Chains A and B, each alone.
Chain A
């Protein structure tokens, strides 16, 4: 009896000791270079500039003449204060920066959840883009192109706006918020607003977190900027619900790392968000914050 217990004790403690080592080995495969810049402040335009400066300046992302595609979250017929959409000031600041860096075109395709006319207006994004060369639109059938997702486990193909496929610089610009099904909407979830309804309904049907992670293996934004100036804690993704005001924007070239950090604003462990864990395991990026360099900036 005694000996069995001892043996079991040894077994258990040994495997417990081995676990972190194994996890470490797994992490070694993931890129260690991930860096997340977290800018705290009140003036969104200034915050964006300060954050970009920490990532090497706009020049690292947008070359003169580049075709830029932006994917904010402008899905719902709700006001900027309600936190259902990316803040219009952030979209505008990014568009103005791209213009000043000589972008030849700035496309903002968004497959809204509410009728686009009302949504673009209520979100404040349409008004914010007035006078800029950015084109905010809802893709029609002919604007999409089918693509293969070779690394996808469930989602092997999808339809993506040609403007996103053909651009030189793709920037993902989601808002961080609560989500009924996936717990949180962050950057990787935001791509659901770039595919047609038929695709996203299919994802819902076939295991949403895996489908989000599958798509993340395909889509490669040069930059992820998460709007966490105000975050919806309940009743997401549409809202209105309870709000918190972290007054932060989160910038990274690694979408998984950016999402992992953003999850902590909701007091969640990154790997409790299933699509973050899956994307990490599939090598999309690093969701383990102990291996991510987090740089904080005040602006």
Chain B
């Protein structure tokens, strides 16, 4: 076993600490765009996302280095830089007796990478949340004040990897990691290429892609189609509100990196814990009124923080003007609970607070009573967050899919 304290580990420590701090979201706002860096470095997320969404932005370029580097340097990134690998290795060291166990585990990671690539090519990436960079990011992004249990869901992957590494040291990096598997495959391919070029090759080198990897890739394509078809009913029925600009194949594209949960200045975004089905587990949904009512609890018209930190394009990077046109939900008045409708007293706080002037009023016995204009309501939740009635008389319901409204904001 190599020494623990050396230059190599010092560098890994610095890299891990830097990305942890970025993901924690404790730096000033100006640093916020950098939060996409770590997850985007994984081609599985950035290139896979771009491939699936059929829309390549500048972020996709960040995935290129890890496609090229392995061709020349093998798994340099894994052994020298990867923060998840570093921590997994450290934990593995705690259990010297488990050292040999890893040999009994098959190479799952390579297959994972192929499934992700195949399904992404089919437009519906599966399992991209197994990416280690996104898992590392998700752990640190979950620690946000005020602490909420629901927000901590994205720590599960990280904790699992470390627990597994304690039981079977090095199993993550050597056998399970899809990013590692991808790089290993690329490195092996480059090796064979070089071997063929060198004149001293003892025997002709086979360059064909094996039948098994090809079948796994095709399996990914098929699984994507199957999952998309099977999940359609669950998705359509799931009454959730997604961040503005959520792509149609949201469950697939979302890497569960936790960035949007962490970045939302109003604490509205939380990982879903089952409403969207197994497939949508830990994907971000908006919950209004989830914390103390002294803070604004609505999707502010001048904010697109979640879109700016999404590494896969699951939340499209809408400019503010465009975000203001997107209806993520639709408010509904519960007349039985409404102070104006039920008690006949004047209130219309919902109208006061609506940033889109989407609350119209009708007079009932001389009192203004609110009704929602669906052509203007963006479902931002301003009304819900300020409604003084108990129970709340105006709540935002999901609008699936999100629609782009024609009415301009006032």
- A interface, CB within 8 angstroms of B: 77, 113-115, 118, 141, 179-182, 196-198, 200-205, 207-208, 235-240
Is A202 a contact partner of B346 (Cβ separation < 8 A)? Answer: no
Given known contacts A115-B296, A204-B388, A235 and B347 CB-to-CB distance under 8 angstroms: no
- Measured in the bound complex, the distance between the Cα atoms of B301 and A239 in whole Å is 14
B363 at the interface (CB under 8 A from A): no
Contact A180 B351 (CB under 8 A): yes
- B373-410 interface code vs A (CB 8 A; 1 in, 0 out): 00000000000001011100000000000000000001
Known: A115-B265, A204-B388, A207-B345. A179 touches B352 (CB 8 A): yes
Question: CA of A203 to CA of B339 in the docked complex: distance in angstroms?
Answer: 12
B368 touches A180 (CB 8 A): yes
- Residue in contact with A115 in the complex, picked from B300, B352, B353, B389, CB distance below 8 Å: B300
Among B340-358, those with CB < 8 Å from A are: 345-349, 351-355, 357
Q: A115-B265, A205-B390 known; A198 and B294 CB under 8 Å? A: yes
- Least CB distance from B405 to A in Å reads 18
Chain A residues with CB below 8 A from B265, complex form: 115
Q: Residues of A contacting B386 with CB < 8 Å?
A: 113, 197, 201
**Per-residue contact bits, chain B 322-349, to A (CB 8 Å; 1 contact, 0 not):** 0000000000000000010000011111
Residues of B within 8 A of A77 (CB): 300-302, 355
Point out the residue from A204, A207, A236, A239 that lies within 8 Å of B349, measured CB to CB. Answer: A204
Is the Cβ of B388 less than 8 Å from the Cβ of A202? Answer: yes
Chain B residues with CB under 8 Å of A181's CB are 346-349, 352, 368
Min CB gap B256→A, angstroms: 27
**B266: Cβ under 8 A from any A Cβ:** yes
CB within 8 A of B410: which of A196, A197, A207, A240? A240
User: Given that A77-B302, A180-B368, A181-B346 are contacting pairs, would A238 and B352 also be in contact in the complex, using a CB cutoff of 8 Å?
Assistant: yes
5 A–B contact pairs at CB < 8 A? A77-B355, A201-B386, A203-B388, A205-B390, A207-B345
B342 smallest CB distance to A (angstroms): 12
The distance in angstroms between the C-alpha atoms of A253 and B82, with both chains bound, is 68
Residue picked from A115, A235, A240, most chain B C-beta under 10 Å: A115
Which of B294, B357, B386 counts the most A-chain CB atoms under 10 A from its CB? B294
Report the nearest A residue to B350, measured CB to CB: A180
Complex alpha-carbon distance, A113 and B296, angstroms: 7
* B293 is an interface residue with CB less than 8 A from chain A: yes
B280-306 with Cβ < 8 A to chain A: 293-294, 296, 300-303
Contact B294 A141 (CB under 8 A): yes
B300 CB contacts on chain A under 8 angstroms: 77, 114-115, 118
The answer to whether B347 and A238 touch across the interface, beta carbons within 8 angstroms, is no
A198 contacts across to B, CB distance below 8 A: 293-294
B351 close to A204 (CB less than 8 A): no
A204 touches B410 (CB 8 A): no
**Interchain CA distance A180-B361 in the complex, whole Å:** 10
**Cα A115 to Cα B345 with chains together (Å):** 28
Residue of chain A at shortest CB distance from B410: A240
Q: How far is the CB of B188 from chain A (nearest CB, A)?
A: 52
Is there an interface contact between A180 and B294, defined as CB atoms closer than 8 Å? no
Contact A180 B348 (CB under 8 A): yes
Residues of B within 8 A of A202 (CB): 388
User: With A181-B346, A205-B339, A235-B357 in contact, do A197 and B352 touch (Cβ < 8 Å)?
Assistant: no
A51–B302 alpha-carbon span in the complex (Å)? 38
Chain B residue with minimal CB distance to A144? B294
- Contact call A113/B390, Cβ cutoff below 8 A: no
Known: A181-B346, A181-B348. 15 other contacts (CB 8 A): A113-B352, A115-B296, A115-B303, A180-B352, A181-B349, A197-B293, A197-B294, A201-B386, A203-B388, A204-B388, A208-B346, A238-B354, A238-B355, A239-B410, A240-B410
Q: A114-B296, A115-B296, A238-B352 are in contact. Are A205 and B410 (CB under 8 A)?
A: no
Complex: A200 Cα to B296 Cα, angstroms: 14
Contact in complex: A196, B294 (CB < 8 Å): yes
A138 to chain B, nearest CB (A): 9
In the bound complex, CA of A298 to CA of B339 (Å) = 45
Q: What's the Cα separation between A181 and B340 when bound, in Å?
A: 10
Contacts of A238 in B (CB 8 A): 352-355
Q: Which residues on B sit within 8 Å (CB–CB) of A237?
A: 352
Contact (Cβ within 8 A) B347 A208:
yes
Give Cα A114–Cα B339 distance, bound, in whole angstroms.
Answer: 23
- Chain A, residue nearest B357 (CB): A235
CB distance from A48 to the nearest CB of B (A): 29
User: Does B346 contact A235, Cβ atoms closer than 8 Å?
Assistant: no
| Top 7 A-B residue pairs of the complex, sorted by shortest distance between their CB atoms | A201-B388, A204-B388, A180-B351, A205-B388, A180-B348, A180-B352, A115-B296
Could you tell me the distance in whole angstroms from the C-beta of B361 to the nearest C-beta in chain A? 8
Cα A184 to Cα B372 in complex, Å, equals: 23
Please indicate which of the listed interface residues A113, A179, A204 has the most CB atoms of chain B within 10 Å of its own CB: A204
**Residues in chain A near residue B352, CB distance under 8 A:** 113, 179-181, 236-238
* Residue in A closest to B349 when the chains form the complex, CB atoms: A204
Task: Tell me how far the C-beta of B306 lies from the nearest C-beta in chain A, rounded to whole angstroms.
Answer: 15
**Distance between B97 CB and nearest chain A CB, rounded to angstroms:** 52
CB distance from A134 to the nearest CB of B (A): 23
Nearest B residue to A238, CB-CB: B352
CB distance from A222 to the nearest CB of B (A): 28
A85 to B161, alpha carbons, bound, how many Å? 53
- The chain A residue sitting closest to B339, CB to CB, is A205
In the bound complex, CA of A240 to CA of B352 (Å): 11
CA distance A292 to B266 in the complex (A): 47
Could you tell me the distance in whole angstroms from the C-beta of A74 to the nearest C-beta in chain B?
14
Inside 8 A of A180's CB, which chain B residues have their CB? 348-349, 351-352, 361, 368
